[in-house]
């Protein structure tokens, strides 16, 4: 008898702090169960640089720069189900605090006046991704299938959410497990 195909899971951090990924790692012993059910594509557990065809893509972080746009579009193209994981992916989160400021002034203030950073000027190596004028939630760039709020969502909630998805059920996280802080 053929074994059921393992689902393929990818994750990435755009403009985030990696806290949502740490929460994913916080599912603790369920990681073993998860590894039994999925193959990991691009994720902190692999050395894959570009997401391939996947069943589930988890996106942490908002869209802060040109590389974020590229990576996010690549995920949307390759992932059947795309999940905005955490506040930054859903509404820009903490990085979006800069949206009411002028980006040029911000850069000049940081790289021109901060002690230890005032010698080199604003970094302009062509390898560096160009920052966007504003930080965007991911749904402003691509279609998103699910939104899992929280800063970060707890490991317990992430596991409940993934368990439903992996079982082919529509995830339903209710209050009080569903939190926005």
Residues that bind ligand SF4 (CB under 6 A): 16-17, 19-20, 60-61, 86-88, 93-94, 151-152
Q: How many other CB atoms are found less than 10 A from the CB of residue 37?
A: 14
Judged by beta carbon, residue 138 or residue 151, the one nearer ligand SF4 is 151
Could you tell me the smallest distance in angstroms from the CB atom of residue 124 to ligand SF4? 27
Give whichever of 95 and 131 is closer to ligand SF4, judged by the CB atom.
95
Q: Among residues 6 and 179, whose Cβ is nearest to ligand SF4?
A: 179
Q: Minimum Å distance from CB 2 to ligand SF4?
A: 38
Nearest approach in angstroms of CB 177 to ligand SF4 is 16
The Cα 15–Cα 94 span in angstroms is 9
* Shortest distance (Å) from residue 16 CB to ligand SF4: 3
Burial class (CB in 10 A: 0-12, 13-18, 19+), 105: exposed
Nearer to ligand SF4, 57 or 86 (CB): 86
Tokens at 154, concatenated? 């707890």
The end-to-end CA distance of the chain, in Å, is 46
Burial of residue 162 (number of CB atoms within 10 Å: 0-12, 13-18, 19+): buried
* Nearest-CB residue for ligand SF4: 19
Token digits of residue 167: 């079982």
């Amino acid at each position: 008898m053929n074994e059921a195909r393992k689902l393929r899971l990818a994750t990435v951090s755009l403009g985030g702090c990696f806290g949502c990924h740490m929460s994913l790692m916080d599912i603790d012993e369920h990681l073993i169960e998860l590894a039994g059910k999925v193959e990991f594509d691009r994720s902190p557990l692999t050395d894959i640089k570009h997401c391939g065809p996947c069943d589930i893509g988890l996106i942490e972080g908002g869209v802060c720069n040109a590389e974020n746009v590229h990576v996010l579009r690549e995920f949307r193209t390759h992932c059947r189900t795309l999940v905005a994981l955490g506040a930054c992916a859903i509404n820009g989160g903490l990085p979006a605090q800069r949206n009411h400021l002028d980006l040029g002034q911000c850069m000049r203030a940081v790289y021109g006046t901060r002690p230890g950073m005032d010698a080199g000027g604003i970094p302009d190596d062509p390898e560096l991704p160009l920052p966007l004028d504003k930080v965007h939630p991911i749904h402003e760039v691509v279609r998103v299938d699910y939104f899992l709020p929280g800063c970060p969502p707890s490991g317990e909630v992430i596991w409940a959410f993934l368990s439903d998805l992996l079982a082919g059920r529509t995830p339903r996280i209710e209050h009080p497990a569903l939190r926005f802080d």
